[in-house]
Amino acid sequence: MCLLACRGGTSDWRVSEGQLLPEFTLRTPDGKLVSTSEYRGKIVVMTRFATWCPPCKIELGELQKRVWEPMKDRGVMVVAVSSGEDPQTVASYVEREGLTFPVLVDPSGEFARGVGGNSIPRLMLLDRDQYIRKLHVGYYEPEFQKLVEEVEALAR
């Protein structure tokens, strides 16, 4: 078994399962403001990533292939947030990797500080009312498969 994560520590969340996600305003790489409240009414898989993080690359590809593409028409959103990286670097990465779900930047680190933690990828599953259903750090295939199954169940 192998859990892939960049950096260390998994118990440093500032949010918890069952809690309503606080509202955050982030930006698209081209500068448009986006509020997390805009996703209310959708099932949201939200992950924090970095363009330099190998486990993040794996997770983002799997989110594209196994969650976004098959479930976007069933009220499921995938949203990736990069904290502290240059928006142009993020935009180039998104294009190179062929990601078609929303990718946002958190240049000030407000989102990162708000949800907590240093380890990435750092994933949250939100229900349609934006309550946190699941928190997970790192990429581990059996846990990711459980996430996919949970998203499928919520999308029914």
For the domain that residue 55 is a member of, what is the CATH number?
3.40.30.10
Asked whether residue 51 is assigned to any structural domain, the reply reads yes
Asked whether residue 44 is assigned to any structural domain, the reply reads yes
Write down the pLDDT at residue 17: 94
Looking at the structure of the chain, the number of domains it has is: 1
Asked whether residue 144 is assigned to any structural domain, the reply reads no
Write down the pLDDT at residue 117: 79
Rg of the chain in Å (alpha carbons): 14
Asked whether residue 129 is assigned to any structural domain, the reply reads yes
Asked whether residue 18 is assigned to any structural domain, the reply reads no
Write down the pLDDT at residue 116: 87
Asked whether residue 38 is assigned to any structural domain, the reply reads yes
Asked whether residue 140 is assigned to any structural domain, the reply reads no
Residue 29's φ and ψ, nearest 5 degrees, are: -60, -25
pTM here is 0.91
Write down the pLDDT at residue 8: 47
CA angle 32, 36, 40 (to 5 degrees): 125
Q: Give the structural domain span for 47.
A: 25-134
Asked whether residue 75 is assigned to any structural domain, the reply reads yes
Mean pLDDT for back-to-back runs of 10 residues, the chain (156 residues): 52 85 95 96 98 97 98 98 94 98 93 89 97 95 96 95
